[in-house]
Amino acid sequence: MHIPDSFIPMGQAIVYWVIALPFIFMSLKWARKELDDMKVPILAALAAGIFAIQALNIPIGMGTSGHMVGAVLVSIIFGSPMAGVLVLTLVLLVQGFVFGDGGITTMGANILNMGVISGFTGYYLFVALKNKTGIKAASFVGAWIGLLISALTCAVEMSIAGTFPLVAGLATMGLYHLIIGFIGEGLITAIVITAIEKSRPDLLDSSVTNAKGVRA
């Protein structure tokens, strides 16, 4: 879902940067407040893992592929969508500047879509669901729908940019990411969260585990 430079006119690309910047600053503020010597290694390992897994495109049929985004996974582990914004910002910076994956002018839009929108929607959906469905199902649904909503937002941005027609863009992006979100985002997120909950529940933020009584 990395938007290249040519997909959004410069003026609009700047608007998305302006919207994304406060979230980037808030994520740095979160890091200042929440990170300590125990959490920094976890954050760094997660960021590296998400960069690597984003290079692994999974075929989804129809001549299309997709990869995990990871903002929801990071947000759930740290108990804040700001963690997802921070990690995705770092990953997208390296992808954009070093590998030409996603444009520099459109990086604001990419951070907004994959970091902020996917992270916030997915994390709060997870929070809303976890007491009713348990951590496994809630992380699956949160990650799946978080990715889908961010793809639909991307389609709206493409329509404002005049790149995609609105309805066709929503339908196509929606269909592809419904599938990518299910496999790449939902399943992987649920598997990783479940594995961490089983082996190292202390790594998960207490707001996540308390609901299930793991720490009680």
Partner 1 sequence: MSVAASSNMNMKFLYAGIAIALLIAIAAPFLASPDPDGLESAAGSIVEESKLAGMEESAPFVESPMPDYSIEGQGKMGEVAAVVAGTILVLGISFVLGKAAKKN
Tell which positions 98-157 bind partner 1, by CB under 8 A.
98-101, 103-105, 151, 154-155
198 interacts with partner 1 by CB under 8 A:
no
214 interacts with partner 1 by CB under 8 A:
no
Window 53 to 82, contacts with partner 1 (CB under 8 A): 53, 55-59, 62-67
Cβ–Cβ < 8 Å for 143, 194 = no
Distance, in Å, from the CA atom of 117 to the CA atom of 153, rounded to the nearest integer, reads 8
Contact stretch for partner 1 (CB under 8 A) within 26-34, 120-128, 135-143, 206-214: 26-34
Pick 126 or 164: Cβ nearer partner 1: 164
Chain centroid offset of residue 177 CA:
13
- Choose, by CB under 8 A, the member of 14, 18, 25, 97 that binds partner 1: 97
- Choose, by CB under 8 A, the member of 20, 46, 73, 188 that binds partner 1: 46
Measure CA of the first residue to CA of the last residue in the chain; give whole Å. 40
Please name the residues in contact with 92: beta carbons below 8 A apart, sequence gap of 6 or more.
Answer: 2, 102, 107, 110, 111, 114, 115
